[in-house]
Structure formats: C-alpha cells, structure tokens
Amino acid sequence: MGERAIEVRPLASALGAEVLGVDLATQLDDKIWSQVHEAYLEHHVIFFRDQQLTPEQHLTFSRRFGELEPYPFVHGIEGHPELIELVKMPDEVRGFGGEWHVDMSFREQPPAGAVLHALEVPPAGGDTLFSNLCLAYETLSVGMKALLERIRGVHDSRAPADHSQQYKGMKMQQRKGATREKRPHPMLRTHPDTGQRSLFISPSYCWQLEGMTEEESSPLLDYLEQHATRHEFICRFRWEPNSIAIWDNRCTMHYALQDDLSARAGGQGFKRVMRRSTIRW
C-alpha cells in the first residue's frame, strides 16, 4: 500500500472529497497518511466508505490528526471517554447536530476537527451538509470584511442538559457537573496550517454580537448564515453503514438534516447511530 497513491474524488466544487484505497483499520504508513492529510486540508472534509472500525481503531486513527478531547456535556462510551455515541431513535423527530454549527464554538479554544463513524443509518434520509467558511469569507465585500474585523460574536453552549436530555437515545449520557460555557470570539479567523481566512459563525451557538442585544445582532448574523449556506458553498454527504467523515472544524460548519418525515407524522421513523471523536486544536 505504501508505494501507491490514494484516490481522491471531489464530492462538490466547494468542498468535500471521498478518499478511496485506504483501510483505516490498519496502521497507515507515512506516505499514505501524508496524502490523507493533504486531502483533508485541501477539501476541508473527507469521506471514507466501508470502514469497519473497533472503538480502539477509531481512536488510533483519530490521533493521527492530533490529541483528542472528551465532549464536555456527554459521557463517552464505556472504556473510551473520548468517543461519544450519537443516537436518534425511530420515534424522534430531532437528532443531535440539527442546526448549522461549528463544533463546540463556545469553548475557549474550539476543536480542530472531528471523526464521525456511521454504525447504523436509514435507507434514506439523515444526510449531513457541510459549508466552506473560507469561500464564505472570500466572497464578502471589502466593507463587510472590514466590519467583521472589528466585532466579536458571543458563543453560548446553552444548558449542559440540552446536549443530551432532549434526545431520547442519549438521555443516559449526560455528564454530571458540567457548566454552561459562554464567551466571545472574533468573527474572522486564520487557519494555522493553510493561512486561509474564514468566517467564524456558528448559528446553533452564536446568536448575539458582543455589546449588542440579540435583536440588534440578528440582522447581521442571519445574513451571514444565509450567505455561508448558499448552495455553491456546501456539499451533501449520503451516509452508508461504516462510512466515515473527517471535517476541519477550523474552516467549516455542518448540519445533520432533520428529515425524518415518518417520525414527524407520528409514526416509526429511522434510527441513526454514530460514534464521534473530537480533535483538540
């Protein structure tokens, strides 16, 4: 394997690519790992199919990207505190991650990225959208860029229970003793590896600008969300069992579609089970 190149197939023009010819359950040699990492930086989110990973193998691969950190409000699976399980039950309408967001943007240093492994997915529905925040920044006007240089957004985790107790499949996972986190961050940031500038919004957690009321903040924040989620700035990933997504949290945001119409109508919908590790910046 170490003597051949991997195959990278772009998923959309804005971001995202599928990587073929790699078995993530094995120890990747430096040449293959370098190509995987290069694809990750270039495309911002990369996808792998047919990857049957144990929790240990999931974490071993994730650590190639950097040190891992536990999710602050949800317990990890038994024996693996850095690996959380995201569960949507068949009669639930709403699942975890159901709004546009940057993972844990409310932290003093938000994570660098995440590795998400699909264990159980529906035959249709439950896709995930990703947005390229570098493109969103690059296409702003000069005047808007100058304005955003001067202001900060306030990112709020909300109550710790909101991250588990409102999801039937995750109620037993609440991490006791966690506290609400709320802090301001610049509206623009620079990627440490590529030097690219990007917009830093996280609609699920940031709905107010520093020094302004929510009502005063919403026109600008609403505009930025609409701008960043234009069709030409996003890609859509269709999950299959044992698919894996790795996204760069420093220049993207994402959204797990809430499209279980059967559950919404009061019937039996689909079940979705994923495991996620979080890469510390």
Q: Which residues are catalytic?
A: 101, 103, 254, 276
Nearest-CA neighbor of 112 among 53, 63, 177?
A: 63
- Pairing between β-strand 152-156 and β-strand 17-20 as defined by DSSP bridges: unpaired
Measured in degrees and rounded to the nearest 5, phi and psi for residue 213 equal: -80, 165
The distance in angstroms from the start CA to the end CA of the chain is: 30
Structure tokens at 244: 């894996």
Under DSSP, is residue 104 helix (H, G, I), strand (E, B) or coil? coil
The helix/strand/coil state of 227 is: helix
Q: Report the C-alpha gap between 83 and 85 in whole angstroms.
A: 7
**Helices and strands (H, E) in the chain, number of each type:** 6, 16
User: What span, in angstroms and rounded, lies between the C-alpha atoms of 173 and 97?
Assistant: 16
How far is Cα 153 from Cα 177, in angstroms, rounded to an integer?
A: 26
What's the rounded Cα separation, in Å, for the pair 42 and 187? Answer: 22
